Copies of this chain bind each other. A is one copy, B any other.
Amino acid sequence: MYQNPRGTRDFNPEEMQKRKIVEESIRSIFQKYGYKEVQTPIFENLELFTAKSGETIINELYSFVDKGGREIALRPELTAPVIRFYVEKLQMKPKPLKLFYFGNCFRYDRPQKGRYREFKQAGCELIGTVNPEALAELIAMAYKILENSGLTNIHLNIGNLNVLSAIFKKLNLPKDKQSYLIPLIDKSMFEDLLEALSDFGISPKDSSTFLDILQTTDLNKIQEFVKTDKDAQEEILKLKEILAFLDNSFKIKNYTIKMSIVRGLDYYKGLVFEIEAPKLGAEKQLCGGGEYELIPLFGGKETPTSGFAIGFDRTILALETEKYKFPAQQIDAFIIPVSDDMITESLRIAQELRKIDASIDIDLMRRGISKSLKYANSINAKKAIIIGPNELEKSTVTIKNMETGEQTTVKITDLKNNFKS
């Protein structure tokens, strides 16, 4: 027997129904904020991703050489492709440019719960401005997208990489030692972090202050700590403006300042944020984003940019964990021709009802009424329409309400009125 490749999934109708509902919900919010959808290819030239993330990313990629000798990679994320598209074809468009996307991405990773080799991302890029109101709107939109999907338990964390950098400076550690510490910070492994700091010769007092500042949610305390760093001060003032917009305009107060946010990617700078579903454990991060700089690297004219990506599969998982009630897939009616010579008229009636936007299925297997009713039940039909010779002689049909079992006789000419919403 043939199977789907390891780490990939097949989605059955029930799963697809959920996914379509969540996708449309996300799309509707992007559109309400004036974002416009774009799409890029499933694969790109490998160099696009190595230029952005370095050669080591090749280990995590599905990459191959095509028949024309080109090095190709299935995309691991969509920011690089969208910015490549922007630089190549959209630079002349009026700014700001608000772009959103949905797309499958691929990582050669060990499959585990909530981590697949093929996964779906939704996301956006805001090109042309990083004004505080622009970043506040971006964060608010990410939050509203997850809220609107039906999630009730989400949490927003906001940090700033320039401020994190200033905090690091106070330790006087060179870059390579910082690089060793960053993954520990990213994973909130604070005990290991303390140990490493001690190994690097940092005094217990400085280590303790460092950890305290990384973990505090009090922005004023952080501001005081980095008060000698001009860039960090400016970033904190800007962050305060962003938070004021979130509070006063978007009524989002449920967030935490978290300077230990380290977006894994090298091209982020300034504001960073993430939204988590706390109940998901190790895979709790649903959304990550912030300011970044990628356009000059791809040969475009420097322009301020920000954006975020939402893990679509994890969002579904979070909804399921919250036991969100997705509406059941239904069909308006299932038509049952009682005998073979009723089929022509039954198909005709089905077609008429579809014209008024009803979803209509019909017995195609010439089964008896009771087997057909059982099938109608299995496909979640709201009504069964039974078309028999006696009824047809009087130009009527029998409608059975599949929920109540109630049966009524209806004139064929009145049938459409039963299906108008």
Q: Which residues of A approach B to under 8 Å, CB–CB?
A: 1-6, 8-13, 16-17, 19-20, 28, 31-34, 36-45, 47-48, 51, 62, 64-68, 70, 72, 74, 84-85, 87-90, 94-96, 98-99, 104, 106, 108, 118, 126, 128-129, 131, 133-134, 136-137, 140, 244-245, 248-251, 298-299, 329, 331, 334, 343-348, 350-351, 354, 357-362, 364-366, 374-375, 378-379
Contacts and interface: CB of A to CB of B under 8 A. Distances in A.
A266 to B, nearest CB: 17
Given A8-B41, A89-B10, A354-B33, A62 B51 contact: no
Contacts of A31: 359
Contact of A375 (B6, B67, B94, B244): B94
A16 B329 CA distance: 27
Contacts of A351: 140, 249-251
B95 A365 contact: yes
A104 B360 CA distance: 28
A306 B42 CA distance: 29
A82 to B, nearest CB: 9
Given A34-B334, A94-B374, A249-B343, 12 more contacts: A2-B88, A2-B298, A19-B39, A31-B359, A33-B360, A34-B331, A94-B378, A96-B364, A128-B365, A133-B362, A249-B348, A249-B350
A211 B72 CA distance: 47
Contacts of A334: 34
A128 B364 CA distance: 9
Nearest to A67: B108
DSSP majority for the A interface?
mixed
Give the 9 A-B CB pairs with smallest separation, nearest first. Answer: A34-B361, A64-B64, A249-B347, A13-B36, A8-B41, A134-B364, A11-B39, A249-B348, A16-B37
26 contacts: A2-B47, A2-B48, A2-B51, A2-B88, A4-B85, A5-B45, A5-B66, A9-B41, A10-B38, A10-B40, A11-B40, A13-B36, A13-B37, A13-B99, A16-B38, A17-B36, A33-B354, A34-B331, A43-B62, A64-B64, A94-B375, A96-B364, A134-B364, A248-B348, A249-B343, A249-B347
A140 B362 CA distance: 14
B32 A11 contact: no
B12 A38 contact: yes
A168 B106 CA distance: 48
Given A16-B36, A45-B5, A360-B33, A96 B348 contact: no
A174 to B, nearest CB: 33
A95 B245 CA distance: 56
A294 to B, nearest CB: 11
A134 B358 CA distance: 19
A9 B88 CA distance: 12
B41 A4 contact: yes
Contact of A12 (B90, B108, B343, B350): B90
Contacts of A37: 13, 16-17, 20
Contacts of A19: 39
A1 B347 contact: no
Contacts of A17: 36-37
B4 A365 contact: no
Contact of A108 (B66, B104, B360): B66
A365 B131 contact: yes
A58 to B, nearest CB: 10
A14 to B, nearest CB: 9
A39 B65 CA distance: 27
A344 B118 contact: no
Contacts of A133: 343, 347, 362, 364
A364 B133 CA distance: 6
A334 B3 CA distance: 51
A375 B34 CA distance: 12
Contact of A41 (B5, B16, B96): B5
